[in-house]
């Protein structure tokens, strides 16, 4: 456990834990460096925070657990079950935890054994692996905080709504909404680039497109089955992009989405 906080009101403060499964620790870094981090540390009782303290453990009882990373190993699976057991509210934090992350790219194309062989050949590794998956595949997730990494304002919004006993409202509209209000031209229409903004959850303020870089969907598909991959794939098809290209691009961050393959099939026709 992180060094005991002895201040008088510590017991009244919500206990939070910040954990990491297979990931880059980027979400934790984002959380550890929010500009109000000192105040956050004052109003919450931070029981564990893997990036900040190596004394962090999974068996702390917490009110809110923020978990980054995908379940990619047997160890991850054991840990996420442990975290779920010890927390009241579980927040999947970042692209890996919410959608499986880039490590899920091969989902639906290659089996775990095929991926293993590609990477390690005949070598043996100590850590038994699993096909990378979002944590919701194994445990109940209460709230999702998307992003690669999540935005500071969203991290603060999650923390403060929990603090007042409320809950964070999920964004369920695409990046395009923020892109237009930011005043960007639509680069898909104007420059014929394969921008995924229309199927990707908003919240980033269309950062990439503002710098003329097409969206690759790091915030994951718009939730509640409102990411219309079929309509977008039809647009891409009309603009000359191949099915392989469109599938590969959408798989970067949306490989685990149940609608993806059937919607792509609908747009491109045929079995492949």
Partner 1 sequence: MRYVKISRENTYMFLERLKDLGTLHAPQNISEKYYDFVEVDDVHSVIFEYNRTVRPPRRFFYPEKETMFKFNMEEVEEYPVEIQSERVILFGVHSCDIVGLRIIDATFLDEQPDPMYKKHRENGIIIGISCLPDEYCFCNVRRVEIVDAGFDLFFHEISDGFLVRVRSITGHKLIEPNLDLFEEEISKEDTDYIAEFEVKRRSMFSIQGNWDDLRYHLEWNMDHPMYVRESEKCLGCGNCTTTCPTCRCYDVKDIPNLDGKTGERVRFWDSCQFRTHGLVAGGHNFRPTKKDRFFNRYHCKNAYCQEVTTSYCVGCGRCTYFCPAEINFKQNLLEVRGEA
Between 98 and 176, name the residue whose CB sits nearer to partner 1: 176
Between 115 and 222, name the residue whose CB sits nearer to partner 1: 222
Q: Which residues, other chains included, contact 125 with Cβ-Cβ below 8 Å and sequence gap of 6+?
A: none
Between 136 and 234, name the residue whose CB sits nearer to partner 1: 234
Closest separation in Å from C-beta 174 to partner 1 = 5
Closest separation in Å from C-beta 163 to partner 1 = 5
Between 157 and 241, name the residue whose CB sits nearer to partner 1: 157
Between 121 and 183, name the residue whose CB sits nearer to partner 1: 183
Closest separation in Å from C-beta 89 to partner 1 = 16
DSSP state, residue 21: S
Residue 73 pairs in a beta bridge with: 129
Closest separation in Å from C-beta 177 to partner 1 = 5
H-helix segments, 23-100: 26-32, 37-43, 74-86, 94-99
Interface contacts to partner 1, rule CB under 8 A: 36, 39-40, 43, 156-157, 159-161, 163-164, 166, 169, 172-174, 176-177, 180-181, 183-186, 188-190, 197-199, 222, 224, 226, 228, 230-232, 234-235
Burial 104-121 (b: 16+ CB within 10 A, else e): bbbbeeeeeeebeeeeee
CA 223 to chain centre: 12
Closest separation in Å from C-beta 238 to partner 1 = 8
C-alpha to C-alpha distances, 222 to 212, 218, 253, 254, nearest whole angstrom: 22, 11, 12, 10
Q: Which residues, other chains included, contact 222 with Cβ-Cβ below 8 Å and sequence gap of 6+?
A: 172, 173, 174, 199, 200, 201
Between 89 and 161, name the residue whose CB sits nearer to partner 1: 161
Rg (CA), the chain: 20
Closest separation in Å from C-beta 201 to partner 1 = 11
Nearest-angstrom CA–CA distance, 239 and 218: 23
For the record, the structure tokens of 209 come out as 């497109």
Closest separation in Å from C-beta 231 to partner 1 = 5
Between 107 and 230, name the residue whose CB sits nearer to partner 1: 230
């Amino acid at each position: 456990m992180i060094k005991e906080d002895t201040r008088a009101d510590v017991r009244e403060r919500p206990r939070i834990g910040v954990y990491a499964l297979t990931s880059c620790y980027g979400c934790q870094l984002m959380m550890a460096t929010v500009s109000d981090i000192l105040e956050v540390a004052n109003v919450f009782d931070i029981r564990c925070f893997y990036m900040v303290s190596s004394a962090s453990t999974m068996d702390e009882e917490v009110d809110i657990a923020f978990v980054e990373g995908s379940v990619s190993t047997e160890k991850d699976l054991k840990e996420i079950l442990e975290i779920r057991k010890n927390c009241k509210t579980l927040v999947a934090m970042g692209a890996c935890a919410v959608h499986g992350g880039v490590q899920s790219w091969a989902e639906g194309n290659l089996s775990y054994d095929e991926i293993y062989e590609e990477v390690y050949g005949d070598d043996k590794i100590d850590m038994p692996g699993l096909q990378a998956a979002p944590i919701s595949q194994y445990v109940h997730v209460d709230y999702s905080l998307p992003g690669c990494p999540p935005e500071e304002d969203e991290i603060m919004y999650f923390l403060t709504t929990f603090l007042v006993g409320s809950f964070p409202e999920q964004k369920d509209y695409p990046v395009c909404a923020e892109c237009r209000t930011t005043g960007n031209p639509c680069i898909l229409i104007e420059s014929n680039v394969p921008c995924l903004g229309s199927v990707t959850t908003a919240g980033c303020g269309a950062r990439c497109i503002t710098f003329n870089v097409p969206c690759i969907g790091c915030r994951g598909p718009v939730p509640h089955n409102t990411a219309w991959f079929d309509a977008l794939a039809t647009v891409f098809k009309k603009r000359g992009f191949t099915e392989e290209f469109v599938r590969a691009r959408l798989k970067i961050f949306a490989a685990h989405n149940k609608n993806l393959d059937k919607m792509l099939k609908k747009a491109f026709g045929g079995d492949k």
